[in-house]
A = this chain, B = another copy of it.
Amino acid sequence: MTGVRAQQKEKTRRALVDAAFNQLNAERSFSSLSLRKVAREAKIAPTSFYRHFKDMNELGLTMVDEGGLTLRQMMRKGRQRAEAGGSVIRISVDTFMEVLESNPNVFRILLHERSGTSAPFRAAVAREIEHFISELTHYTEATANRTPELARAQAEALVTLVFNAGAAALDMKRVDRKVLADRLVIQLRMVAKGSEALQQKLDRR
């Protein structure tokens, strides 16, 4: 009972989402796409678009959701690798850069719409990134027993630095990306070390 019809519909819907992702690059953000262009790339008539999405916004939010999925998969991958031992920071950065490289357009929409002009988009991206932050906050509270407040500030700083580096890395050559990654590792260590120092200062009194 798959439904030949439902199956075909899903296929077209995917074609639309893929078409939209494929049109993203350094010079073309989501907001520069048009319903007609997306429909053209997906090889359907412009008006057929409405059979799948209410408007372009709905398509965009779907894409952000898929971005969230990628993010969560990335977290899982990082966690697994970290279990094997080694520098958590290094492993995390390497994993991030790998996933970024193989899903550039997913990150393009996340990184761009994070500070975009549509409030719903910003909210959606913020929601996805919040997973990251809260997971990291918990991890830090547990393994390095920080004040909740300090753990949160630390986690936010780490995530800010990582995503900012990600945005910069998106349109770099591999060599430059490596330099960037190394510098990012140093910056993350700064935050970790500094947070530790602040915590100790709190504990001492």
Contacts and interface: CB of A to CB of B under 8 A. Distances in A.
Interface of A: 26-29, 31-32, 111-112, 115-119, 150, 152-154, 156-157, 160-161, 164, 167, 183, 186-187, 189-195, 197-198
B156 A119 contact: no
Contacts of A190: 153-154, 157, 190-191, 194-195, 197-198
A29 B41 CA distance: 26
Contacts of A161: 157, 160-161
Nearest to A115: B167
Question: Considering residues A26, A27, A152, A194, which has the most beta carbons from chain B within 10 angstroms of its beta carbon?
Answer: A194
Q: Which of A28, A111, A198 has the most CB of B within 10 A?
A: A198
B115 A111 contact: yes
Interface centre among A119, A150, A164, A189 (most CB of B within 10 A): A164
B186 A191 contact: no
Given A117-B27, A117-B29, A183-B156, A198 B189 contact: yes
A177 to B, nearest CB: 15
Contact of A157 (B26, B29, B119, B187): B187
Nearest to A111: B115
Contacts of A164: 160, 164
Contacts of A195: 190, 194
Given A32-B117, A187-B191, 13 more contacts: A31-B32, A115-B167, A153-B183, A156-B183, A157-B190, A161-B161, A189-B194, A190-B198, A191-B191, A192-B194, A193-B194, A193-B197, A194-B194
Contacts of A31: 31-32
A132 to B, nearest CB: 14
A190 B27 CA distance: 35
Contacts of A29: 116-117
Which 10 pairs from chain A and chain B are nearest by CB? A194-B194, A190-B194, A193-B194, A157-B187, A193-B197, A153-B186, A29-B117, A160-B164, A190-B195, A190-B191
